[in-house]
Amino acid sequence: MSTDASLPQDQMMGMIQGFQMSQAVYVVTKLGVPDILTEGPQPIKEIAATTGAHENSLRRILRTLSSAGVFQEVEPDSFALTPLGTTLTKTSPFSLRDMNLMTMETLYAPFGDLLHTAKTGEPAAKHYYGESFWEWLAARPEQVAQFSAAMASSSSFKQEAINSIDWSSTHTLVDIGGADGTNLASILQREPSMQGIVFDLPHVVQSASNVLTAHGVNTRAEIHKGSFFESVPPGADAYFLSSILHDWNDEECLTILRHIKAAATPGAQVKILEFVMPPDNAPLMTAMLDLTMLGLITGRERSTTEWETVITQAGLSNFKITPTPTPLFLIEATVPN
């Protein structure tokens, strides 16, 4: 086989074998190898002893990942972390550790049923688990914590996008589907006169108390439990939805937005942070997220026109969509007076 990665057959081979690389990255992360190597290179014997792994098998996995740039074999049988591998550590400011563990422990197996989705339209995860992904998740507290941690660290730019939003006229903000409160906590830290409510499902929102306290904003924040398919906290002048509506189909989005419209003070602002599908082929990141939505749940990534349709159909006014300094877009609307 040729080694020129630009040849179509070599590019395709990389795609075909991608699942093996996903597993290799997952295994070393689960064993904690990247964290062990933050102190410096170590011989495989010690890495295997510390992680309780089978030495020769782990050596072969580390060698493969060294070829891919995740580790570097600094001398025979001694491995070091590279900048790429550092993203798998707990302590990296751009850590994808939780995202990696969550993805592999929730999406990986169901994606084996993507052919079923292609034939029927049913999410692969629903077919694989025998229940919706959200129902499956709700019954697994350890996965809930990992899912929220993964969302909080899901992209190096989400925080930058949130920081670019103007909240100056907001008195009380409800973060709809606010998970463990990470997003709300960072907003309240930047806006010292603002009050906030983090709203999410009961089994998800219970970790928010620690996060809000750790950020020193707990005196200005409340935690509300519930489902946005029933109602949302009333009386606020701003509602924030970050990576929420792309999880749901149009009908489900309309229900969520109509509950916000019914609960909000007249004139309230609705601010939505999402990706937008461009008219031509989407950037791979957005297209991959759409594939995740397809296989996992009922949602999808939307174009500008599709966002406008769903938001105006929900009865919200002043639809506006603007890029942020990141790949995410800010979609704004107001609750009519």
Ligand X SMILES: C[S@@+](CC[C@H](N)C(=O)[O-])C[C@H]1O[C@@H](n2cnc3c(N)ncnc32)[C@H](O)[C@@H]1O
Whether 246 is a known active-site residue: answer yes
Residue 179 lies near ligand X (rule: CB under 6 A): yes
Residue 329 lies near ligand X (rule: CB under 6 A): no
The DSSP symbol for 171 reads S
Enumerate residues 189-218 that contact ligand X by CB under 6 A: 200-201, 204
Residue tagged 């309780």 (tokens):
52
Residue 301 lies near ligand X (rule: CB under 6 A): no
Residue 134 lies near ligand X (rule: CB under 6 A): yes
Residue 274 lies near ligand X (rule: CB under 6 A): no
H helices within 70-181, ranges in order? 83-86, 97-102, 114-120, 124-129, 133-138, 141-152, 158-163
Residue 233 lies near ligand X (rule: CB under 6 A): no
CB of residue 242 to ligand X, shortest distance in Å? 3
Which tokens in the block code for residue 23?
Answer: 């597993």
Binding ligand X (rule: CB under 6 A), the pick from 34, 123, 177, 295 is: 177
Binding ligand X (rule: CB under 6 A), the pick from 33, 58, 70, 151 is: 151
Residue 185 lies near ligand X (rule: CB under 6 A): no
Work out the angle at residue 280's Cα, subtended by the Cα atoms of residues 243 and 164, and round it to the nearest 5 degrees. 35
Residue 254 lies near ligand X (rule: CB under 6 A): no
Neighbours of 53 (CB within 10 A): 20
With CA atoms as reference, report the closest residue to 171 among 189, 159, 151, 188. 188
Binding ligand X (rule: CB under 6 A), the pick from 56, 216, 229, 267 is: 229
**What DSSP string describes 179-231?**
TTSHHHHHHHHH-TT-EEEEEE-HHHHTTHHHHHHHTT-GGGEEEEE--TTT-
CB of residue 328 to ligand X, shortest distance in Å? 10
CB of residue 142 to ligand X, shortest distance in Å? 15
**What DSSP string describes 275-316?**
-EE-SSSPPHHHHHHHHHHHHHSS---EEHHHHHHHHHHTT-
Binding ligand X (rule: CB under 6 A), the pick from 242, 269, 286, 292 is: 242
Catalytic residues: 246
Binding site for ligand X (CB under 6 A): 134, 151-152, 177-179, 183, 200-201, 204, 227-229, 242-244, 247
